[in-house]
Amino acid sequence: MKKNFSGGARGGKETGGGSGGRRGRLAVPGGRGETGGPRPRRRIGAHSGGRAKPEAPRLENRADRDENFSREDSSSSDFCWGRNPVISLLEDDPSRCLKVVVSRTMQRSTASKIVGLCRASNIPYSFVETRAMDGIIKGGSHQGVIATVSPTRLFTLEEAVRMIPPPPERALVVLLDHVQDPHNLGAMIRSAEAASALVVALPLRRGSLPTGTVAKTSAGASLRLPIASVGNVANAIREFQEAGMWAVGLDAGAGETIYRGALPARVVMLVGSEESGLSRTASAACDELRSIPISGKTGSLNAAVALSLGMFEWARVNCSIRSER
């Protein structure tokens, strides 16, 4: 008996992030609202000299907490730390900044400036305990702020859309719905380059990021193939559709397989996270869902393998790939 799989079972919930998504509010315990105006501050103690101890800023919106920071498989070369270096990165080259973590005990005015710069460029940020940051930058003086940096520039969604040639030219775009494993992400980008994809788009929140680890596992493909960041995956699908692309989601529950009928010449192909597959909102935004037929007792394929099969089926039908060797 054959089974269908591509990228895991459907499920999960898409939440906004980056442009178009909800953003956290910088607040203090006992206070509400955005930063920017004077606000009463409760005295909770005093330093020597009688000055009140300021309370640590925190995020009220839990969606802005970046739970992947401590688990990200990254080397120290993927980080920029220290107040002035991080602020310079955010001001001068924000397209390379993937996310920022700030110490809960950082001076309020400095934290507000960093958060404001992150919001201006739709960069995810979160507040963490200082001891967690000490474990990331071992032996370094991070001064309460660490930024994760991409080895290459990230493109915006608008720039990715402009890369697509006008109809009826053939085009393949890859859109990833919160892929978690950096090695999977590297394998996907490597295969996307080999299958003639124009760009790989992914959200910066709740997923693996294009760090140095990804550059290594992609055999350098992530440094050559354009990588674009998106806020909301479902919104990104609609943007690509307006550019004349047909959205095909790889889903285990789909009734049609990738081999039943030719894939269109202009496709944005989606694959979901390793555990939950495509989110409900992403699935609903797709023009169609396709699965990959498999046999045996394995029950599933690796998400990167499933995406590769889908991309190369598109390439087989729509373009001729010649080896450059």
pTM: 0.66
- C-alpha angle 84/86/91, rounded to 5°? 95
Residue entry with tokens 């009928």: 261
CATH number of 55-149: 3.30.1330.30
Q: Flag whether pLDDT at 40 surpasses 90.
A: no
7 pLDDT higher than 60? no
**Confidence at residue 36, expressed as pLDDT on a 0 to 100 scale:** 42
User: What values do phi and psi take at 171, rounded to 5?
Assistant: -160, 140
Of all helices (H) and strands (E), which one includes residue 5?
A: strand 3-5
Out of 43-57, 157-171, 211-225, 262-276, which region has the weakest mean confidence (pLDDT)? 43-57
Tell me the domain boundaries of the chain. Answer: 3-9+153-318, 55-149
Rounded to 10°, the helix 108-120/83-92 angle is 20
Is-cis flag, bond preceding 182, omega within 30? no
Could you tell me whether strands 227-230 and 199-203 are parallel, antiparallel, or unpaired per DSSP bridges? parallel
pLDDT class of 72 with cuts at 50, 70, 90: very low
Domain 3-9+153-318 class? Answer: alpha beta
Q: Over the chain, what is the mean pLDDT?
A: 77
Query: Is the pLDDT at 210 greater than 60, yes or no?
Result: yes
Higher pLDDT, 32 or 159: 159
At residue 87, what are phi and psi to the nearest 5 degrees? -65, -40
pLDDT digits (tens, 9 = 90+) for 140-193: 678 889 988 888 888 999 999 999 999 999 999 999 998 989 899 999 999 999
Distance of CA 199 to the CA centre of its chain: 14
- Say if residue 230's pLDDT is above 60: yes
Choice among 74-88, 163-177, 265-279, 301-315 with the minimum mean pLDDT: 74-88
For residue 307 the two structure tokens come to 């995406």
Give me the residues paired with residue 52 across strands.
46
Residue 266 has pLDDT above 90, yes or no: yes
Please determine, for residue 234, whether its predicted confidence score (pLDDT) is greater than 90: yes
Q: List residues bridging with 125 in a β-sheet.
A: 100
236 Cβ contact partners less than 8 Å away, ≥ 6 residues apart: 157, 175, 201, 230
pLDDT at position 42, please?
A: 39
Q: Higher confidence at residue 67 or residue 121? A: 121
Residues 6+ apart with CB under 8 A from 274: 7, 8, 179, 180, 181, 184, 302, 303
Rounded CA separation 240/258 (Å): 20
Residue type, 252: A
219 close to 147: Cβ distance less than 8 angstroms: no
Please determine, for residue 35, whether its predicted confidence score (pLDDT) is greater than 60: no
